Amino acid sequence: MARALLSAPRMSRGKQGWVAILALAGACASPVGADVGIENDEEPEPAAPALVHATGGYFEHARSPLVPFCHGVLIAPDVVVTAANCAADGWFELSFGIGEPGASSTVAVEQIVEHPLGSADPAHAIVALVLAKPVVDVVPADVLEVDEMPCDVELPTYEVVLGGEIARRSIWRACGASEPGSLVAVDGFPNCHGDSGAGAFLSGPRDRVIGWVTGAGHLGPQHPLHEACVTSVQLATVAANREFLAQARARTRVQDPF
C-alpha cells in the first residue's frame, strides 16, 4: 500500500501545517553565500561563485513534497552527518546535494551508521549516512570541539519549497546561549520549523563544524514572521560525539581522503 507523502521533519510544536511552513520558512534568513548558476543553452555559463560553508548541504526524500527534507554536513567525501530524526522514516529514500535544490543533482544514500545513544539523549541524536558515491569538488568539513558555544557561529540553511523549485540558500548567525549546547539567532533567524540537521560552523575560510541542529526553541527575541516560529536551536556537539564521528568518518570508501 502506498504511504502518505512526508513533510520535512519539524522540531517545534507549533500548529502550522506544512503549507504554512512552506509559506514562512526561510524568509528571514540573512543571505551570505552566492546563488548557484543554472545552465543556459543560449549563453556561456559564468563560473559559479564559491559557496560559503559548501559542506552544509541538503537532503531530498523520495516521498516528501517539500525540499529540502533536511540539512546535513559532509565530513568525508561520501559521508554526511545529520539529525537522527531526518533518517527516521526511510533513510534509504534520501539523497544528498550541495548547492541549490532544483539547480544541482543529488547523490543517493546507501548506508546508515546510527549512534548507540541517539534515541536516548538529544545530545547524541545524530546519524551518519554513507553516500553511493563521493561528492566531488568539495573538501569535507573539519569537526571541531569547543568548550563553550561561541558567538561567531554560522548556519547555512535553505528555505523550504515544493520539489522541483529552486530553494534559496542563506546563512544565519548565532551566539551561544545560557542553556548548554544552545544557539540564539543574532543575525537572521532559523526557518520557522527549525533547520533540522543543519551544521553549526565557525566563521572563516575553512569549514569547521562544531555541531548539528537536533532541536529548536524560543530563546531570544520573537521571530519576525510569527510568534510560534523558533528563534534558537540546540546542537548535538562534536565534543559530545567525538568517538561516533571518528567512526563515521572511518566509513568512507575513498582512499586516503584526509
CATH number of 143-239: 2.40.10
**Contact call for residues 69 and 188 (beta carbons, < 8 A):** no
65: left (phi over 0), alpha (psi -120 to 50) or beta: alpha
Kind of pairing, strands 142-143 and 182-187? Answer: unpaired
Question: Any idea what the Cα angle at residue 138 is, between residues 81 and 252, rounded to 5°?
Answer: 50
Would you say 174 and 199 are in contact if contact means Cβ atoms under 8 Å apart?
no
In terms of pLDDT, which residue wins out, 55 or 8?
Answer: 55
CB 204 within 8 A of CB 226: no
- pLDDT tens digits, one per residue of 140-193: 999 999 989 999 999 999 999 998 888 899 999 999 998 889 999 999 999 988
- Predicted pLDDT at 258: 56
- Cβ pair 213, 71 in contact under 8 A: yes
Grid-cell match 541524536, residue found: 125
Phi, psi dihedrals of residue 251, rounded to the nearest 5°: -80, -5
Is residue 122 pLDDT above 60, yes or no? yes
Q: Which amino acid is at 69?
A: F
What number is the average pLDDT over the span 82-91? Answer: 95
With CA atoms as reference, report the closest residue to 157 among 4, 15, 5, 8.
8
3-state secondary structure of 70: strand
Residue 64, pLDDT above cutoff 90: yes
What is the phi/psi pair of residue 132, to 5°?
A: -65, -25
With CA atoms as reference, report the closest residue to 193 among 23, 21, 28: 21
| DSSP 3-state of 77 | coil
Q: Which of 99-103, 110-114, 122-126 has the highest mean pLDDT?
A: 110-114
pLDDT-based confidence at residue 257 (cuts at 50, 70, 90): low
Q: How large a percentage of the chain has pLDDT more than 70?
A: 81
Give the mean model confidence (pLDDT) for residues 231-250: 96
